[in-house]
Structure 1
């Protein structure tokens, strides 16, 4: 197990370097000039050039990339070109807000999709199965920003049940207030994942029901609950772990959109604002942090494989 984890970490290092270089290249090819936020029409060319020098924009792209990489390896992510604050402190102050939103949406998707997928697979082509399939197609097809607007219009503007923006109400510090603010963004972020996971669990359930060991268990009089939760669910967990690992990039990108719409004070909102302002130190740090999150998530998925399936664990021990 330790060798497998070490190998995966070593494999992730060149991938992270490649992602950072491509991101830096694309950012420099994008139209616009980060120094324009500091240059006024009354400034002379010499003053404008001094601003570019102070921001480090006078050096070639490769030189700036390697200088950035050297600083990052020493733990220095630089300073924001907009706020002039340390990039590390700006991201760390928003990291747990994003992590909490992503974690809650992932847990919600798991808790809903597993029992729903098992039940609809067990009762294939019945009313609930067909109705759920229609909802799954809708959830996969509709844009998340449109769904967010619909929820805001219904539950915030018309019914006034839930707050529309932010993470807290001004002057209120209770946990319940944070939960109320997080309900709508969590639903939006988990909606498509619930549909995808439910379909995969349903498909695995239908496949497992045709296996010989299930037919034998049914012939021996085993109850449906015993068949579902003792036999089928164990074998359905492995493909579900794969889908969860594959859904992490879309979860991260979805958090950017969701946080912007709901005014959630996380990394997504910071990232969108930084892209608009061409604040490349923040953009690069955000890219690196989110890439590391995806790598760690996939590593945890691999570890979960070993814990769930004894055959994989025995195979690793024999290697």
Structure 2
């Protein structure tokens, strides 16, 4: 297990390094730069060069990359082209909002686990068929589009949920924040419901077809005992492999939901930075989101070997 953990850590390091290389070179070939925010018809080429030198853009690309990676290692992603503030400072301001939305969506998404268990234990029933149809249909519909449609319907007819934002101006309270969180978190949780329900159903059905389950029934154990003590416990183990990746996926998926619901988080900041060509902020967001995804998958891989002692990872 220790050797596997070390190997996965090394792989994760090279993955992050690859992300930084790709991110840096995409920024190099993209149009724009800090000078474009100060340019006017009277600006001379020397003035533009002075602005670029202040951001270190006059140096060779390998020196720029080395300095940037060294800064990334110290969580120094440079300064915003827009206002000159440190990129990590702007992201830190938006991070709590993203964590709030992502965590709420993840926790609501866990409801897909009992939904999948219910469908598996009633295989072939109308409830199982309804759950299967809903998961397939939900997987086919873009969740951001569904969220936009629900937002339009809510604004035009139902008028129950707010149109966006984290809170109502002048009425910042816990109930008000939960009211604003309800709709985006529910739409964001749909991916979890679909993934966990389908995965849990298939795992339960696979486990109950094993010989040891039939042996347990042959010994006279009740259906409830067999399902809860044997089938369910063993079926839940593989779920660990998708929990870590799903949690990081909720963070990266927040980009679309934050823009749809005007949620002032990291995702909305990333889109604003892309449109404004604020590359230091955009590059910082890319690295942070990639780090979350890689870290989530790493934790899931390591946790699988810990929760199931039968597994020997080589």
Same fold (TM over 0.5): yes
Map of 1:81 onto structure 2: 81
Distance 2:43 2:192 in 1: 51
Please tell me the root mean square deviation across aligned C-alpha atoms, in Å. Answer: 2.3
1:127 paired to 2:126: yes
Structure 2: distance between partners of 1:304 and 1:73: 26
1:35–1:55 contact (8 Å) kept in structure 2 = no
Give the corresponding residue for 1:103: 103
Cα distance in 1 for residues equivalent to 2:88 and 2:216: 56
Deviates more, 1:128-137 or 1:152-161: 152-161
Q: 1:226 to 1:100 in 2, by over 3 A?
A: farther
Pair 1:154–1:9, CA change in 2 (3 A): same
Distance (whole Å) between structure 1 residues aligned to residue 226 and residue 98 of structure 2: 38
Matched residue of 1:172: which SS?
coil
Alignment of 1:20-31 (within 5 A): 20-31=20-31
The answer on whether the counterparts of 1:56 and 1:64 sit within 8 Å (CA) in structure 2 is yes
2: distance between equivalents of 1:260 and 1:292? Answer: 22
Partner of 1:194: 193
Structure 1: state its 5+ residue gaps: none
Shift of 1:241: 2.0
* TM-score (norm: length of structure 1): 0.89
User: Partner of 2:12 in structure 1?
Assistant: 12
Gaps of 5+ in 2: none
- Aligned residue number for residue 66 of structure 1: 66
CA shift for structure 1 position 85: 1.3
Give, in angstroms, the shift of residue 125 of structure 1.
Answer: 1.8
User: Counterpart in 1 of 2:178?
Assistant: 179
Map Cα deviations across residues 121-148 of structure 1 (whole Å, 9 max, x no partner): 1211211111111111111111122111
- In the alignment, the residues of structure 2 paired with residue 30 and residue 6 of structure 1 have an alpha-carbon distance, to the nearest angstrom, of 36
Q: Deviations over 1:64-119 (max 9, x none)?
A: 21121122334422211112211121111221221222222122111x21111111
For residue 242 of structure 1, what is the aligned residue in structure 2?
241
Alpha-carbon separation, structure 1, partners of 2:254 and 2:144? 11
Which residue of structure 2 aligns with residue 268 of structure 1? 267
User: TM-score, normalized by length of structure 2?
Assistant: 0.90
Q: Residue 142 of structure 1 corresponds to which residue in structure 2?
A: 141
CA distance in 2, matches of 1:75, 1:105: 27
**Contact conserved, 1:118 with 1:228, CA < 8 A, in 2?**
no
